[in-house]
């Protein structure tokens, strides 16, 4: 967990990971939280698609899966393309702009 997070932010993000995204707590959940926060800070994704692509190292499948999970959890929403998503109120509360 990042040293710059407040206790409330950390609690919110951990609840998000386990309750909303249904991710496993083993492995590297802090890395997942960091990725989610970085992505939400990049949203709306249409502003800088290259930066979003860089988060996934060019893996379009991984990008599609992760963005779809964020959409399903209500952190982002989109119109015609998931790659042009923007943060929801819940997404902004989770670290997005």
11: exposed, middle or buried (Cβ count in 10 Å: 0-12, 13-18, 19+): exposed
Residue 8 has a CB neighbour count (10 Å cut-off) of 8
3-state secondary structure of 79: coil
Q: Return the structure tokens found at 88.
A: 């929801």
For the whole model, what pTM was predicted? 0.83
pLDDT tens for the chain, 97 residues long, are: 445 667 887 788 888 888 888 888 888 888 888 898 899 999 999 999 999 999 999 899 999 999 999 999 999 999 889 999 999 998 888 766 6
């Amino acid at each position: 967990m990042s040293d710059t997070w407040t206790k409330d932010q950390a609690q919110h993000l951990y609840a998000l990971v386990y309750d909303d995204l249904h991710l496993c707590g083993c492995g590297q959940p802090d890395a997942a939280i960091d990725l989610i926060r970085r992505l939400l800070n990049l949203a709306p994704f249409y502003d800088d698609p290259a930066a979003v692509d860089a988060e996934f190292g060019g893996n379009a499948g991984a990008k599609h899966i992760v963005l779809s999970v964020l959409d399903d959890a209500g952190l982002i929403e989109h119109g015609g393309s998931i790659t042009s998503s923007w943060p929801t109120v819940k997404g902004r509360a989770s670290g997005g702009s």
